Copies of this chain bind each other. A is one copy, B any other.
């Protein structure tokens, strides 16, 4: 192992930082997709970028499952429909009416479905950094999901994260190892429409709050 010398990092410009902020602001959870497929090779490229995310102990526990078989996609859609009906039943009155009006997934039209799991049985990283906080293994996979999200948007691709699912059932549907834990089920495709504000804000479910109210000093 030859150590690489310390060398200066790139000097990111103010113009880049402004564009990066624009990317953060425009990321969006997309649920309305055009059906045309992603450009050839683009999904693999996005996965390659996602794998640049930080991971605890450099464990790289992300496992990417491209879901293409129609029967498996249909099972995931059914899974979502059942979980979403259960979720709706937990609300009442105006909140229930509003919930029922929301579009919470783009599973029918998104050309690409990607499930991302954390391999809790991985030997990579030799357990470093996760003896007291084992949840950091799954957190590492979340970093990969978020990296993929930003990279997708920078390529004009929208992404939506579907969490209204029975995760164990998704694992069974996709026939992956028992020690893989579902972190995110993602829809990707070119967006049918674009918005700068979150869908849930636009439809009056939950406004964005000033971050300063969440800072405390100790």
Given contacts A12-B156, A125-B206, A167-B133, contact A65 B20 (CB under 8 A): no
Taking CB atoms, residues of chain B closer than 8 Å to A200 are: 57-58, 125, 128
* In contact, B215 and A44 (Cβ under 8 angstroms): yes
User: Would you list the 4 A-B pairs with minimal beta carbon distance, nearest first?
Assistant: A51-B211, A58-B206, A6-B193, A142-B142
A26, chain B: closest CB distance, angstroms? 5
Q: Is A195 an interface residue (CB 8 A)?
A: yes
Chain A positions near chain B (C-beta within 8 angstroms): 1, 3-4, 6-12, 16-17, 19-27, 29, 44, 47-54, 56-60, 62-69, 72, 83, 86-87, 90-91, 95, 99, 104, 124-133, 135-136, 138-139, 142-143, 146-147, 149-151, 153-156, 161, 163-167, 174-176, 182-184, 191, 193-198, 200-209, 211-212, 214-218
Contact A52–B25 (Cβ < 8 Å): yes
| Shortest CB distance A210–B (Å) | 8
Do A216 and B65 touch (CB < 8 A)? yes
Q: Which residues of B contact A62 (CB under 8 A)?
A: 211, 214
Q: Which residues of B sit under 8 angstroms from A59, Cβ to Cβ?
A: 206
Contact indicator B149/A54 (Cβ below 8 Å): yes
Among B20, B136, B182, B214, point to the contact of A60 (Cβ < 8 A). Answer: B214
For A202, what are the chain B residues with a Cβ–Cβ distance below 8 Å? 1, 3-4
Among candidates B10, B29, B67, B161, residue contacting A22 with C-beta atoms closer than 8 Å? B10
| Distance A183 CA – B142 CA, assembled complex (angstroms) | 12
Do the beta carbons of A195 and B44 come within 8 Å of each other? no
Instruction: Tell me whether B21 and A128 are in contact (CB under 8 A).
Output: no
Q: Which B residues touch A209, using CB under 8 A?
A: 60, 124
